Amino acid sequence: MPWIIGPGASGTVRATVDFRGKEGEIAKELLVGTVEATQTLMMIVKVPPMSPEMRVRNQAIAAANRQKVFQGDCAVCHAALAESRDGPDLFEAVCAVCHQAKHRAVMVPDLTVAKEKRDVAWWTRWIDEGRDGSLMPAFAQKHGGPLTPSQVESLVEYLLATFPAEPK
């Protein structure tokens, strides 16, 4: 960088778009500058939804080992996104993919509905340890997850401020 191309020449411009956890139409801007001017190009990308077969396969893998989402190829979408994030940004990167998915699986709790009292200890336990017998992995590093203690703390703070603490 910078990529240099002579006057009148042509070439290919490559752009990287992160599709992890996304579906539908995504619009991204690409800024192209020359010595004479700068132009913004708009890229529209259509990401197909995950097939029902792939969803079932992924759920079976997670049911066999809920920590699998932080290992191998799965870690690219479920662990790497946690790096250097906290609070709302961390929630969007690692929690919303399941808890706010357009086609949220029925076994994934709706966080906008409190079924019991949710305080600091409650949220911390769920994030740290996950839930045995479910697809919810343990996110704390001490249990094989990607989150540091300070990330867990920032996530708990965000969840307490954002979602109801008491059942209706």
pLDDT tens for the 168 residues of the chain, in order? 667 777 788 878 777 777 766 778 888 888 887 778 888 888 888 888 778 888 788 888 888 888 988 888 778 777 888 899 999 999 998 999 889 887 787 889 999 999 999 999 999 999 999 998 888 999 999 999 999 999 999 999 999 999 999 998
pLDDT at 22: 73
What is the rounded CA–CA span in Å between residue 73 and residue 63?
17
pLDDT at 20: 66
Q: What values do phi and psi take at 41, rounded to 5?
A: -100, 140
pTM: 0.71
pLDDT at 137: 94
| 45 and 25 Cβ atoms separated by less than 8 Å | yes
Domains of the chain and any CATH numbers: 52-162 (1.10.760)
Rama region for 61: left / alpha / beta (φ>0; ψ in -120 to 50; rest): alpha
